[in-house]
Structure 1
């Protein structure tokens, strides 16, 4: 049967005034063989609203306000599935765009089609779709649709030209930061370049999640070598995320072949051709990414000492990232540039996952010339307390985590800094790498060498990833934390004990902005609607229950209406199938929502 429900507006999504776009999301139509799928007509758009509300440039208005508008204009009942009626509603509410959707179910296959409608003209601006098999794939399907919708909405053109997408108004008093990527684009850098292209929007979104949210300009220098189609290409700084994303999407890897590249020429352009902000209070961060050292041309007079001199004069901090294949001379140049400008050098982490004949899976992390067993190193680092039990050592990097471990032991990290409070020891050394002594780095290098895996790696390789996007995001967030910007970087600050019925759980808190509300509720008998991601502990011998809650995933809802119906579960239900609930849920954090009493709040030393 086909169930046509009224297009009740779940929420208004509004880009900031300087972007000038207002969007409405409607209930979805459902075409299914029976009524058992009807709940998805409200569940799907509710989850989509929540995903959109997590974007720093989109704001979801309360449903109560929208329902009041519909009631006032007697817009209820049947007949609202017509686009003309949707346009009329959109005009009443002052919208620019409406999002409409249809879910089609045939046997086990499900397909979600969404369309974006121009309210002013009634024309369809475009659409996105995603498919899945079975109800278990709904969450992933919504994640794909929401990501595509965000990209489409941001790239739509209005009137005379494109609307620039600024996560934060650059004319405001927000903290400002210039971020430049200086990237080797020769043929061997294909995988790394693809990560930058695919994850640029996510990097920008994560940076904008701070309080107060910073205004960020991005710039790019591509470099190859003499004899290639170009030596360098420069794209100057812009606040417009979509414009920069379009620029970086055209980058491709080609050329090279003789290993040394025109690194010094790229540094000259990156430091002196980009229009760095001249104000001292603006953070200026440059990421040099490459897998080869510099070509020492005799007629090239801009050298390492020139780059260090000019960077320090302009207040630019370099974070250099060595990719697979970087030789000893290249590493020396990358290290010296970073440490001489108050930055840091990191090897990019590559994770390779293998499955053997019995079906057992194992992941190994490759950094420079070392290999690490991911799970073994994670257990060791979490036992030392340098990373949380739920933290990904792949995202952080084994070497960086080990340096943080040794620096904490040596007392070389300021525990009162915002970078430490937000990101722990790793955040502390990321924000202030020069506080770590050479002796500490030497001890960390020796310990990392001891942690290296010496066995043989066998099985069929199933995937290869690198942590470039996580590394860049962590560096920028840690540095902005030194300028008063607060982030949730996944480091546990406290924990709350919650109760639902006869079940009690501890939930780690990594976002200091949540503490005030939780302190108000703790021990008062008040219940809160919460959302969090779970971890499957059913196979852990020391675990007292089949699930645990993951750090960095907690969300507090202001009202029960904010919790998407499809994500609402009891703690008992979460315990029934830990593996499913750990790998499904809302958004990237796989969150599930529930109501619970907050019994206590404890701060973590």
Structure 2
């Protein structure tokens, strides 16, 4: 006769086997990238926060160190809080956004342009306590926007890697690049160069999308790709709007 305990025993063995498996992506901390505040004097630069956020999210996700909240989800939360166009948040609002997004940590900061120089400052904040765990800066000319953003993403990933894997054995290891080569772009967008003027147009496309102005978003993305055909992220965004 078949034992009545055979099936439960097999189930117990299966459960024990699953518990013994290595940590999965579910164990990685969740990070949300908030819109950076613009502190310069050119009002047209303010919209750059959207393209910058999208690109940082894409590159940080490419490292695989943490889980990232999608920019669309962040925009939904800001709209719900009636802060859709905001880029400056007090500590209470930052904590609220982080909790609503289900994030353990936030990346936020500011940027400005002065005398042909673009400066971007970023910091990693723990949602629960508001503690700043690390800060990084990227600088360059407006023509070097892509290099500034990618270097900033790499530096931020080093901070996040220390948070996600705090043991000495792991933190002493070099941080892997998204494609295995230092300074190389994320697999999701392989543009060799991206000046600020193109990043601004891409940001305007994202802003139009957020305002449900799909036709303007398509037009802006089409123009972006005419000038920057290797900007794969923009191509992916356009393809999603065409569905």
TM-score by length of 2: 0.60
Identify the residue that residue 64 of structure 2 maps to in structure 1.
56
Larger relative contact order (Cα-Cα within 8 Å, sequence gap ≥ 6) = 2
Identify the residue that residue 102 of structure 1 maps to in structure 2.
110
Distance in 2 between the 1:98 and 1:111 partners? 20
Q: Does 1:83 align with 2:91?
A: yes
Distance in 2 between the 1:165 and 1:569 partners? 44
Change (3 A) 1:129 1:53: same
For the residue of structure 1 that corresponds to 2:129, the secondary structure is: coil
For the 8 Å contact 2:77–2:97, the answer to whether it is kept is no
Structure 1: gaps (5+ residues): 1-14, 167-196, 208-468, 471-510, 512-529, 536-559, 576-580, 586-590, 597-605
**What's the offset of the Cα at 1:568?**
6.5
Distance in 1 between the 2:98 and 2:69 partners? 14
Structure 2: gaps (5+ residues): 1-23, 194-208, 211-216
Identify the residue that residue 117 of structure 1 maps to in structure 2.
125
Distance in 1 between the 2:107 and 2:221 partners? 21
Identify the residue that residue 7 of structure 2 maps to in structure 1.
none
Alignment map for 1:119-268 (pairs within 5 Å): 119-133=127-141, 135-156=142-163, 162=167, 200-202=174-176, 206=179
Change (3 A) 1:39 1:138: same
**What's the offset of the Cα at 1:93?**
2.9
Distance in 1 between the 2:108 and 2:37 partners? 8
Change (3 A) 1:55 1:79: closer
For the residue of structure 2 that corresponds to 1:99, the secondary structure is: strand
Bigger radius of gyration among the two: 1
For the 8 Å contact 2:31–2:67, the answer to whether it is kept is no
Change (3 A) 1:28 1:73: closer
Distance in 2 between the 1:593 and 1:77 partners? 21
For the 8 Å contact 1:25–1:99, the answer to whether it is kept is yes
**What's the offset of the Cα at 1:89?**
1.9
TM-score by length of 1: 0.27
**What's the offset of the Cα at 1:149?**
0.5
Identify the residue that residue 36 of structure 1 maps to in structure 2.
44
Alignment map for 1:381-420 (pairs within 5 Å): none
**What's the offset of the Cα at 1:54?**
1.5
For the 8 Å contact 2:56–2:149, the answer to whether it is kept is yes
The count of residues paired between Structure 1 and Structure 2 equals: 188
Relative to its length, the structure with more helix (as a share) is 2
CA RMSD of aligned residues (A): 4.2
Distance in 1 between the 2:224 and 2:87 partners? 36
Q: Does 1:17 align with 2:26?
A: yes
**What's the offset of the Cα at 1:18?**
2.5
